[in-house]
């Protein structure tokens, strides 16, 4: 994983293109530019680990190009739960919940990621409150879709969830 400057990026990261992705949809061009200028852009090679199980969850990543696989871990068990593609985000739950990463993230192919720290997230709230609300709604919508897919997988596999 290599940090790059905006001018070094070889993919289309214009606001017009990024708005086609679910988390950037309906954000203003200014808010998107603010995130691009203040976030950290990472070129990631196929097979690279983006974050590891148990690492600090003080940021999340938006996929600007490419695909990632997330492997959820619980105890000694580890399984791939989803693939994250253009316009989606990963790591938001750990950042908001203030807990360590609950799995590991790997690049399926060469990718461009935008890392948004908790501080940048807060700064977006302060400087672009309307866009912050839209971003939060977009992230929540993606989170709800993920919960639905995972809960459907539990039903399909007849997984019994025990109550405490």
pTM score > 0.85 for this model?
Answer: yes
Report pLDDT for 18. Answer: 98
Structure tokens at 144: 């709800």
Report pLDDT for 135. Answer: 97
Report pLDDT for 69. Answer: 97
Dist CA 8 CA 73 (whole Å): 35
Q: Domains in the chain, ordered, with CATH?
A: 2-153 (2.60.120.10)
Inter-helix orientation angle 129-156/118-127, to 10°: 130
Dist CA 127 CA 98 (whole Å): 23
CB atoms within 10 A of CB 85: 15
Report pLDDT for 65. Answer: 98
Q: What is the pLDDT along the chain (164 residues), one digit of tens a residue?
A: 899 988 899 999 999 999 999 999 999 999 999 999 999 999 999 999 999 999 999 999 999 999 999 999 999 999 999 999 999 999 999 999 999 999 999 999 999 999 999 999 999 999 999 999 999 999 999 888 888 888 887 788 876 766 66
Residue 57 per-residue DSSP state:
-
């Amino acid at each position: 994983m290599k940090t790059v400057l905006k001018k070094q990026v070889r993919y289309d990261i214009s606001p017009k293109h990024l708005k086609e992705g679910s988390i950037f949809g309906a954000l203003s061009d200014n808010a998107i530019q603010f995130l691009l200028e203040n976030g950290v852009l990472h070129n990631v090679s196929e097979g690279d680990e983006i974050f590891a199980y148990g690492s600090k969850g003080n940021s999340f990543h938006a996929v600007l190009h490419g695909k990632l696989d997330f492997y959820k871990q619980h105890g000694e068990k580890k399984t791939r739960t989803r693939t994250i593609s253009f316009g989606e985000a990963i790591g938001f739950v750990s950042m908001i919940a203030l807990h360590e990463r609950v799995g590991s993230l790997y690049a399926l192919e060469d990718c461009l990621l935008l890392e948004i720290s908790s501080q940048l997230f807060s700064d977006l709230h302060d400087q672009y409150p309307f866009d912050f609300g839209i971003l939060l709604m977009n992230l929540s919508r993606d989170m709800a879709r993920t919960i639905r897919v995972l809960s459907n997988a539990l039903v399909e596999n007849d997984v019994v969830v025990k109550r405490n």
